[in-house]
Structure 1
Amino acid sequence: MSVVQYLDLPSAARLTGVSVTKVYRFIHNGDLAIYKIDGKFVVKVEDLLKQKTDIKDCELLEPTFMNLISEVKSENIN
């Protein structure tokens, strides 16, 4: 039996019981690290579970998804 260490963002949203937009916002605020593995954006399950209550309680402000993606790509390049 293997242990899941990373989840894609839609799965992370389902696990925390919030919308994907809210997970994006939490990442955009710098409160949750995002990784790119095999071309997919993922979060660590351990980090997600530590932040689960905070993610549910964070104020939902609409992020610009393309800005988030460009920020992540530029961080990976540097």
Structure 2
Amino acid sequence: LVGEIFGLVSFGAIFGMVNLVGQVGAGAGPFGVGFLHDQTGGYSVPFTVTAGLTYLAAFVILFARPPVPATLTPTER
């Protein structure tokens, strides 16, 4: 998907950044859930926050548009 949207020229750098952000989130998530559990004494608040963030992400995805294919000139075909 990253290659389709951004092309192959910068694929390595962009894919690395996407993975970095994902790994930071995967690492910080359990700490955040643990912190909220310690503060509230249960899991209802952490799960509610997680569900809210998931719904927010799904809402943002609704605005994603497919990449516009580049038009080729007759000499490039």
TM-score for the superposition, normalised by structure 1: 0.26
Structure showing greater relative contact order (alpha-carbon pairs closer than 8 Å, 6 or more residues apart): 1
Bigger fraction of residues in strand: 1
| Larger Rg over CA atoms | 2
